[in-house]
Chain A
Amino acid sequence: MIVADQKPIKDIKEMLRGKKKVLAVGCGTCVTVCFAGGKREVGVLSSALRMATKLDDEPVQIDETVVQRQCEKEFIEHLGEQLDEYDAILSLGCGVGVQTLADLYPNTRVLPALNTKFMGGPSEQGVWVELCQGCGNCMLEYTGGICPISQCAKQLMNGPCGGTGKDGRCEVDPDTPCAWFNIWERMDQLGIQDELMQIQPAKDWSSSRDGGRRRIVRKDLQKPELDEDI
């Protein structure tokens, strides 16, 4: 899922300066399961901000709501009726949610309470790790299901580099495993380690962020238009 965490309270307080009434909007999907922007987190953050702004003598009224998914317009359309009374929306959704809200309500300031970090999943309770970078051209078949683009700090495709520490640690951080150490082990486990002697050629990065903003069009799913002449 998309994993995010909250900005520090002092930064959010700064964003709300000068606002009198704000609507905090949570999201019931990715940020709920990574405990950054679900109903509970909206409650805790709103309470904290109400107290903090009151102590500063610039109290901000913060109302709370949650939607199923902020990234889809059908789930945020109902908010429109109430927005006149608010100076801003404080979105606890990921960057996609913030932008979708801003796009649907261009006359209301939409502020991000979260820092969207990565696509990943929980490795253990309370810990989330990055697993996918959305390069647009999946090469997991060559690396035994371990992604070198997201898990190797240098995005090597013919790794490891010379910096692998003891017991397979990445030189950048002793808490991070060396992706290529793990890839060689996994391929060995699968009995196909010799495949790694093949040189992975230079990657075509145009399918990733480098090629520009990406979109996917599915003609089979788009809304068909009735030809009025028939």
Chain B
Amino acid sequence: MDNIATYEPQIIAFCCLHCAYAAADLAGTSRIAYPPSIKIVSLSCTGRTDMGHILKTLEDGADGVLVVGCLEGGCHFQTGNLYARQRVEHVAGLLDQIGLESERVRMVNVSAGQGARFAELANVFAKTIKALGPTGLKMKPAAREIPLPSPAEDELTLLLADQKPAGKGAI
């Protein structure tokens, strides 16, 4: 059984093609790193996000879901990102009732030229999710009393001899 301390959070980022995906692309080409465990799913607009998509994503083992849309007021479809925000907030409330931390779902906004900003937001979100630990839906935590690494410590990857590093296969 994998230890929480070595797990790599699995994060799905729903990104709109017009701004978010472009920003992610720009981060990549500018060599600004963001965690490889963040997988991007592109949509034509974050307004296409269904609450069911987010929940099924978590159910299938994602530890965090990030919805990335255009800056408010700059949505290619006018109000798509506003609807997305309402839905993400609603899902955050549902997570509370389900027994998961509502911070596992967030919506952020970037413009197409903000590659560095995208990477910054992605990195911080990944740190938050790492600190929260796995959801316990696919990976059973050893025991919830084990103190979780604080955001500053996860860089060390905690090389413990008898631990397998958590990779893509763990989920």
A binds B: yes
Q: Interface on A for B, CB 8 Å cutoff?
A: 8-10, 40, 43-44, 47-48, 50-52, 54-56
A–B complex contacts, Cβ < 8 Å, 25 sampled = A8-B97, A9-B94, A10-B97, A40-B52, A43-B52, A43-B55, A44-B94, A47-B52, A47-B55, A47-B56, A47-B59, A48-B55, A48-B94, A51-B55, A51-B100, A51-B135, A51-B137, A52-B97, A52-B98, A54-B137, A55-B98, A55-B135, A55-B136, A55-B137, A56-B99
Residues of the B chain whose Cβ atoms lie less than 8 Å from the Cβ of A47: 52, 55-56, 59
Contact status A9-B52, CB under 8 Å: no
B51 in contact (CB, < 8 A): yes
| Number of interface residues, chain B, beta carbon within 8 A | 15
Ordered nearest first, which 5 A-B pairs have the shortest CB separation? A47-B55, A9-B97, A43-B52, A52-B98, A55-B99
For the complex, what is the distance from the CA of A40 to the CA of B91, rounded to whole Å?
14
Binary A-proximity of B81-121 (CB < 8 A = 1, otherwise 0): 00000000000001001111000000000000000000000
* The residue from B50, B51, B52, B98 contacting A51, defined by CB atoms under 8 A apart: B98
Q: How many A-B residue pairs have CB under 8 A?
A: 44
For the complex, what is the distance from the CA of A148 to the CA of B149, rounded to whole Å?
62
B75 in contact (CB, < 8 A): no
Task: Give the shortest distance, in Å, between A32 (CB) and chain B (any CB).
Answer: 14
Chain A residue with Cβ nearest B52: A43
Task: Give the shortest distance, in Å, between A60 (CB) and chain B (any CB).
Answer: 13
B11 in contact (CB, < 8 A): no
For the complex, what is the distance from the CA of A10 to the CA of B96, rounded to whole Å?
10
B58 in contact (CB, < 8 A): yes
For the complex, what is the distance from the CA of A56 to the CA of B136, rounded to whole Å?
10
Interface positions, chain B 36-62, Cβ under 8 Å from A, are 50-52, 55-56, 58-59
Task: Give the shortest distance, in Å, between B46 (CB) and chain A (any CB).
Answer: 17
Please name 13 further chain A to chain B contacts, defined as beta carbons within 8 Å, in addition to the given A40-B50, A51-B58, A54-B136, sorted by A numbering. A8-B97, A9-B94, A9-B98, A44-B52, A47-B59, A48-B98, A50-B59, A51-B98, A51-B100, A52-B97, A52-B98, A54-B137, A55-B98
Residues of the B chain whose Cβ atoms lie less than 8 Å from the Cβ of A54: 136-137
